[in-house]
Chains A and B, each alone.
Chain A
């Protein structure tokens, strides 16, 4: 018990092992998606929130990750436990590539270039012919572990959970170290950071590589969880979804990323009867958050809810 108290994270992980006991296939699928999207939001937050670069390549990072895992599994019979890390590495390299224009382009120009990149990648998936299976996408085979086929959402959940736990704690550790402070320092003032011997260019490239790795790996999990991927899953609509998760939860906050992903994944499930208005509701969320809680839900909680420490608000190390 003492060990559990000392390690909150391990305690939560053990609790999460038992989630499939209380879910059905449908709710389990939602849980899988929540875990995937927490990673997606966290990765987006590293470039957009912590390092303050207006990069909107996140949906394409997710797509690249998903396509790498899916295609290597379909075409080369690669086992999922190799395909998912490969997704992370490939997308990390793509992230690094996107990092270079991020060094030179001012905010809005970077936004335009990266949005264009997202559209370009969708174009590549659609017109990739035999290689990407074209506009209709393709089915992802069931993952196999030592000859044992993991065919249900509950079984896939354990893959998602293990990768999620490793990657989440890894990212949290990095952000809560001096690296997190460097990201924020570079966001606020390139020259201020340089004057403290922080290499601002390396820091930005590092953020993009890390973001690519996290979101790409999440993309691998995404393909396993969703079972079928199509080019349209990684376009502008998806990008807006990621953006709302970050803004709603809290820009530059780990807890905020978790809140944003959970809310935006669960919300549509309660709005099935008004699905046509989904975009309208997304728009309203953005407007309301920007007007009334510019620091996101998490920022709102730590600032206005009595009894919650203010200390957390301004420290990348704790929030």
Chain B
């Protein structure tokens, strides 16, 4: 399948793509989760990956972030192959994700959860901590105020001292997003961020994601089952079915794509 990049007037002048996935295949035993997938992001924006259950969306996320090793293919992040690198090192490069089943640290307070997200940018060393160097103490204070800012952005500042596990499912998703934003990711992968959110919370999340993508030049890839949410927030969509890419385009194009309609609704 030919890789298609939106709005590419002149390939020569373009900077290297932010994410370039080439011929990616992932197999678990005899089951093919992803088959020969090409996926490219050239500029910041919000991309959606959709597909029916079992289409390979989460496997795709797991593979990019290093939690699952591909059977074939390359994943280039800013021209560096990141296949085979440990998840924490991929995250250190700025590829940060959230999980479909919430990975909020339930026993920590909401604030501590979000503070943990700063790890990628932290310059404090073991000695700095042990000897209470001024720089380390200053950083700790900065992390705290940044975490509060980040929680304000998701409207959870009133819950900062609560046990994260006591929050509703939707609120935990928001904590996880706030935590991911703490690390100022350059590529942010959100696995069903809208799940469990109320209509108002979802509207707020859309505004937040838009401002993150515009103000910080962050690329966001997200998946969700709520089509109205996906269609509203994403600028461009990739559709998977049984591990194959069956369509790519703007939300309007996708809604009219006969293959996509067939995958979701079945053949007449």
Q: Which residues of A contact B (CB under 8 A)?
A: 170, 173-174, 177-179, 181-182, 184-185, 187-189, 191-200, 252, 310-311, 313-317
| Contact A181–B129 (Cβ < 8 Å) | no
Give chain B's interface residue range (CB within 8 Å of chain A): 35 or more
| Contact B86–A194 (Cβ < 8 Å) | yes
What 5 A-B pairs are tightest by C-beta distance, nearest first?
A: A192-B103, A197-B91, A314-B109, A194-B87, A197-B120
Does B19 reach chain A (CB closer than 8 Å)? no
**Most central of B96, B109, B117 by chain A CB within 10 Å:** B109
- CB neighbours of A177 from chain B (8 A): 124, 129, 136, 140
- CB neighbours of A181 from chain B (8 A): 108, 112, 115-116
Does B161 reach chain A (CB closer than 8 Å)? yes
Q: Please encode chain B, from 61 to 77, with 1 for each CB lying within 8 Å of some chain A CB and 0 for all others.
A: 00001110000000000
| Contact B124–A196 (Cβ < 8 Å) | no
Q: Is the interface of A mostly helix, strand, loop or mixed?
A: helix
CB distance from B61 to the nearest CB of A (A): 10
CB distance from B6 to the nearest CB of A (A): 28
For A195, the closest partner residue in chain B by CB is B97
- CB neighbours of A316 from chain B (8 A): 108, 112
The residue that B116 contacts in the complex, of A185, A191, A314, with Cβ under 8 A, is A185
| Contact A197–B88 (Cβ < 8 Å) | yes
A194 and B67 CA atoms in complex are apart in Å by 9
Q: Please encode chain B, from 104 to 144, with 1 for each CB lying within 8 Å of some chain A CB and 0 for all others.
A: 11111101100111111010101001101000100010010
| Contact A315–B103 (Cβ < 8 Å) | no
- CB neighbours of B179 from chain A (8 A): 196
CB distance from A49 to the nearest CB of B (A): 11
How many A-B contacts are there with CB distance less than 8 Å? 112
21 contacts between A and B (CB under 8 A): A177-B136, A178-B115, A178-B118, A178-B124, A179-B129, A181-B108, A182-B119, A185-B116, A191-B103, A192-B104, A195-B91, A195-B180, A196-B91, A196-B120, A199-B86, A252-B107, A310-B161, A314-B161, A314-B163, A314-B164, A317-B112
A173 and B124 CA atoms in complex are apart in Å by 13
A192 and B67 CA atoms in complex are apart in Å by 11
Does B92 reach chain A (CB closer than 8 Å)? yes
Does B183 reach chain A (CB closer than 8 Å)? yes
CB distance from A167 to the nearest CB of B (A): 11
A252 and B66 CA atoms in complex are apart in Å by 30
Does B169 reach chain A (CB closer than 8 Å)? no
| Contact B119–A189 (Cβ < 8 Å) | no
CB distance from A239 to the nearest CB of B (A): 25
| Contact B132–A178 (Cβ < 8 Å) | no
In the complex, besides A177-B129, A197-B89, A198-B119, 13 extra interface pairs with C-beta distance below 8 angstroms are A177-B136, A178-B118, A181-B112, A182-B116, A187-B107, A192-B105, A193-B116, A195-B103, A197-B96, A197-B183, A198-B116, A310-B161, A316-B108
- CB neighbours of A191 from chain B (8 A): 67, 87, 99, 103
| Contact B109–A311 (Cβ < 8 Å) | yes
The residue that A188 contacts in the complex, of B91, B98, B108, B122, with Cβ under 8 A, is B108
Does B162 reach chain A (CB closer than 8 Å)? yes
The residue that A184 contacts in the complex, of B105, B129, B161, B163, with Cβ under 8 A, is B105
CB distance from B69 to the nearest CB of A (A): 14
| Contact B91–A194 (Cβ < 8 Å) | yes
CB distance from B100 to the nearest CB of A (A): 12
A188 and B89 CA atoms in complex are apart in Å by 20
- CB neighbours of A310 from chain B (8 A): 161
CB distance from A174 to the nearest CB of B (A): 6
For B128, the closest partner residue in chain A by CB is A177
| Contact B88–A198 (Cβ < 8 Å) | yes
A229 and B107 CA atoms in complex are apart in Å by 39
A170 and B98 CA atoms in complex are apart in Å by 34
| Contact B129–A173 (Cβ < 8 Å) | yes
| Contact A173–B130 (Cβ < 8 Å) | yes
A185 and B122 CA atoms in complex are apart in Å by 16
